[in-house]
Amino acid sequence: MEITTEQFKRVDVVKASGRIDSSTAPQLAEVLKQLTDGRRFRIVFDMSEVEFLSSAGLRVLLDTQRTCRQYKRGDLVLATPAEGIKRTLELAGFNTLFNVYDTLLDAVGSV
């Protein structure tokens, strides 16, 4: 899995490619933790190149969202998930917990 981050004035965009499973989720967690430790709480997670998302990846996203929303500091939103990832989010009931956007521009504008 490859992870890139891009910092803008108000928001950070994190893009992952490949599989997010129990072996790669800690890598994603570390990148997101570095952002929140740096007091960056408005995060867009670009999922356009994510092929698989396991429960370990969902847990990382949920933990990060909880940190971002604490004291109403910001949010973690999801952008451009593939249809398979959308189904995973729906089956797990996470589509009601996260704001999911079809375009990166919409996601960046919402945070």
pLDDT at 49: 96
pLDDT tens for each residue of 40-86: 999 999 999 999 999 999 999 999 999 999 989 999 999 999 999 99
Which residues constitute the domain of residue 89?
2-110
Q: What is the pTM of this model?
A: 0.94
Residue 76's CATH number:
3.30.750.24
pLDDT tens for each residue of 80-104: 999 999 998 998 899 899 999 999 9
Question: Count of domains in the chain?
Answer: 1
pLDDT at 88: 87
For 33-54, what is the HEC assignment?
Answer: HHHHHCCCCEEEEEEEEEEEEC
